[in-house]
Structure 1
Amino acid sequence: MGNGNNWDDLRYLLAVARHGSLSAAARVLGVNHSTVLRRVTALEQAMGARLFDKLPGGYVLTAAGDEMHRVAQKMEEDLAAANRLLSGRDTRIGGSLRVTTVDILTLYILPRHIAAFRRLHPELRVDLVAAEASLSLTRREADVAIRATSRPPENLVGRAVSGLAFAVYGASSYLERAGDAGDLDRHPWVGLDESFEHTSLAQWMKRTVPAASIGYRVNSVAGAVEAVRAGIGLGLLPCGVVDRDPAFRRIGDPVLEADTKLWLLTHQDLRHMGRVRAFLDFMADALTRDRDLLEGRHA
């Protein structure tokens, strides 16, 4: 292990340990199966110990492999930290910026703001990743997160720029046909599936809407918006997305128990990076100007 390829060999160990097979590790690393086997074997020979047991379920670390794995993880974390610190000193407003957010913001709120941002910074490419689950900013899967949450992750820095209100809506065409919007129990509903169980939206639905009334469930708020638009039933939807759309009619005031916050977040090592700072400052201004809409005061 005294040569200059130490970290490169350990990358192969980490990939096999994470993914459980040579072929899965090869796909992630962008090499072929035999390369992974060769590098792992070379590492075992250099260490004088077997690092993996090949079991029917895949490759499993031995006791020696487990010790080596801990060393490799620490090296990976140190390299990622160094990379973040070096990136944080980069003041160029160019290159690319990876942003993760949820589907409703990707589809309905952010595009016009990103268009305006890119008019100011045409050299900067924005890569937007719509994901309900947060990508890791620590491992540099993204540079910036725009999240709808009441409790942002403690390892990130940022600020809440607006509330995000939800209210009950039906499609205007559906309500004209079905009538009596005031009696919510007699309507079918669009709900969210188990992946939203932890959210205030799902908890309000559980308390308020009989399970038998939910005729359609979806694992995305944008999917719920489009289902209500299609006339499947009533739904608890974000005011900032549908209040200005004549295809929807709001029933009552925003539901306070479902209210959440819109956060702009980054990793503390990246907060001074030129492109991160420019994007965060621009979006903070843009989304603060949208507050009346996002907080349900537009209807």
Structure 2
Amino acid sequence: MNTQAQDWDDLRLFLAVARAGSLSGAARVLGVTHSTVFRRIGAFEQRMGVRLFDRLPGGYALTAAGEEMRDSVTCIEEEVAALALKVTGQDQRPSGMIRITATDLLAVGVLPRHIAAFRAEWPGIEIEVVVADTVLDLTRREADVALRLGNPGQETLVGRRVGRLAFAIYAAPGLHARGLSDPADGDWISYGAAHGPLSRSLARWWPQMRQVYRTNSIIAAHAAAQAGIGVAALPCVVADCDPALIRAAALPEDFMLDLWVLTHEDLRHTARIRIFVDFMAAALAADADLLEGRCPCKAIPAGA
């Protein structure tokens, strides 16, 4: 490895420790071992001739010199990321890798058949899907494209709303057969504090709902409903297609979440990104009835 590459790796490692406040947190972010971070951060301090961190019982805290270095390195990181975005944005080849971030719901319940159709049409473009409930930072190239529910909220992102996701109440057939005249009387699979807009609406509609199972994952709630643990508010695009579930009731109000396909403004003219965003927007727009819960699901061929 040449000196410049080594120096940049050390600076990235320094930033990871500074942000995480611990060796173990930095190791998780960088995908290396705790001992590797410990060894390299010590060697980096020795080479710099200054102590950058105070080793405290609760973790690693920046010294005054460390704070000054963090600010400088952050500026360098932002400039490198901006340069990478601009260079990538000039790439007009319909080939290469696209890194997509999506929630488990979208990665499991919505994307696979569309990505299969996309790959059949564009075999030179490879796809990596990062399943994350946290919002990855597109400006730092943690991902190239994001599929998100709700308001995108970042001014530097461009894209389009490609659909709306409807929800309804679902139950396993055996549970439904025992009678569910009022959802408030049933055992509920809930999301706790996760999925804020949906959780807040459920709490407002049924303040006394009996929450017997909580999860932060819609896919996990889907599996729990299949097992008969209770009733759950699930997206129609997933649950209507499942013969192990019955749509037991509609929600009291028209509740939908906007579905967005987004990328960074500097990447929107990159050929593979533009092709993917356009393809996915068209595919999801064609799924409008299914996404919005207006039609019963049947086996859908890939790319239909």
Tell me the TM-score range normalised by the shorter chain.
Answer: 0.7 to 0.9
Q: Secondary structure at the match of 1:185?
A: helix
Q: Which runs of 5+ in 2 are unaligned?
A: 297-304
Matching of residue 155 in structure 1 with residue 160 in structure 2? no
Which residue of the partner structure matches residue 195 of structure 1?
194
What is the CA distance between 1:26 and its match in structure 2? 6.3
What is the CA distance between 1:283 and its match in structure 2? 0.3
What is the CA distance between 1:161 and its match in structure 2? 0.8
The one-letter code matched in structure 2 to 1:260 is L
Which residue of the partner structure matches residue 267 of structure 2?
270
Which residue of the partner structure matches residue 40 of structure 2?
35
- Go from structure 1 to structure 2 and tell me whether the alpha carbon gap of 1:107 and 1:24 turns closer, same or farther (over 3 Å shift): closer
Matching of residue 142 in structure 1 with residue 138 in structure 2? no
Q: Which runs of 5+ in 1 are unaligned?
A: none
| Per-residue deviation, residues 110-154 of structure 1 (Å, max 9, x unmatched) | 111000000011122211111111111111111100011145433
Within 5 A, what are the aligned runs for 1:55-134? 55-134=56-135
- Go from structure 1 to structure 2 and tell me whether the alpha carbon gap of 1:148 and 1:21 turns closer, same or farther (over 3 Å shift): closer
User: Percent sequence identity over matched residues?
Assistant: 45
Alpha-carbon distance in 1 for matches of 2:26, 2:187: 47
What is the CA distance between 1:288 and its match in structure 2? 0.2
CA RMSD of aligned residues (A): 2.3
TM-score by length of 1: 0.87
- Go from structure 1 to structure 2 and tell me whether the alpha carbon gap of 1:183 and 1:9 turns closer, same or farther (over 3 Å shift): closer
- Go from structure 1 to structure 2 and tell me whether the alpha carbon gap of 1:251 and 1:85 turns closer, same or farther (over 3 Å shift): same
The one-letter code matched in structure 1 to 2:39 is S
Q: Secondary structure at the match of 1:129?
A: strand
Within 5 A, what are the aligned runs for 1:176-255? 176=177, 178-179=178-179, 181-196=180-195, 199-211=196-208, 213-254=210-251
The answer to whether the 8 Å contact 1:113/1:286 transfers is: yes
Size of the alignment, in residue pairs?
289
The answer to whether the 8 Å contact 1:9/1:40 transfers is: no
TM-score by length of 2: 0.86
The answer to whether the 8 Å contact 2:159/2:263 transfers is: yes
| Per-residue deviation, residues 45-77 of structure 1 (Å, max 9, x unmatched) | 2xxx54333333333222222112101100011
Alpha-carbon distance in 1 for matches of 2:252, 2:152: 19
The answer to whether the 8 Å contact 1:26/1:36 transfers is: no
The answer to whether the 8 Å contact 1:162/1:262 transfers is: yes
The answer to whether the 8 Å contact 1:25/1:36 transfers is: no
The one-letter code matched in structure 2 to 1:37 is G
Alpha-carbon distance in 1 for matches of 2:204, 2:155: 30
The one-letter code matched in structure 2 to 1:161 is V
- Go from structure 1 to structure 2 and tell me whether the alpha carbon gap of 1:50 and 1:188 turns closer, same or farther (over 3 Å shift): closer
Which residue of the partner structure matches residue 287 of structure 1?
284
Which residue of the partner structure matches residue 167 of structure 2?
166
Alpha-carbon distance in 2 for matches of 1:128, 1:255: 34
What is the CA distance between 1:256 and its match in structure 2? 3.8
Alpha-carbon distance in 1 for matches of 2:55, 2:207: 51
- Go from structure 1 to structure 2 and tell me whether the alpha carbon gap of 1:229 and 1:67 turns closer, same or farther (over 3 Å shift): same
Segment of structure 1 superposing worse, 255-264 or 94-103: 255-264
